[in-house]
Amino acid sequence: MDIKRHLEKEVVSQPLYTASGNLILREGTRSRVLSRRGTLTGQGKIWENLTGESLNLRGPEPYRRGQHEYTRLGGKEKRLRTWDPVEDRFVNYTSTGRAFYNTRKIEVVVHIPALVRGARRNGREYDRLTWFPVANLGLGKNYAQTRPLGI
């Protein structure tokens, strides 16, 4: 897969994070690693040069320990917020947590339900419920601001 040809397509897939923390670009069954554990690869540098977008989309990842959520900023562990199991939501945001979540954006994948009707070779008709991602319809990316409740 050539990144330049990939970007020339009408519907371009966006980089995705894997469970291991790598950032990849998928096209069909093939993929390119753009960032490996936070370090840009050669393909990642090409992506940034061609698109003008930084691949550092997520920044440091928050993690939970006990009832608190933390992140590492500037090499130090910072508490962001506290989970309240009774209210079933995060409460008590620190000033670092408010700043972290007010500037953080997540990509939202919206799917539209569709009913597909067809006929098999033997002539029997069928109906199938499926879902189309909005991005496949050419409507672009959808981003949401991750604002904490009560702020």
Check: CB of residue 134 under 8 Å from CB of residue 111.
Answer: yes
Give the torsion sign (CA, 33, 34, 37, 42): positive
| CA 100, 37, 19, 130 torsion-angle sign | positive
pTM: 0.39
H-state helical runs in the chain: 3-7, 42-51, 95-103
CA torsion 41-33-13-57 (nearest 10°) is -60
Per the model's pLDDT, the better-predicted residue between 16 and 63 turns out to be: 63
* pLDDT band per the 50, 70, 90 thresholds, residue 121: very high
Query: Per-residue pLDDT tens for 67-115?
Result: 999 987 767 888 989 988 888 888 888 988 887 777 666 666 777 888 9
Asked if 15 and 34 count as a contact pair (C-beta separation under 8 A), the reply is: yes
Cα separations (Å) of 122 from 119, 125, 128?
A: 8, 9, 17
At 37-78, the pLDDT tens digits run 667 888 888 878 877 777 765 566 788 889 999 987 767 888
Q: How far is CA 53 from the centre of its chain?
A: 15
Least confident window among 82-96, 116-130, 137-151: 137-151
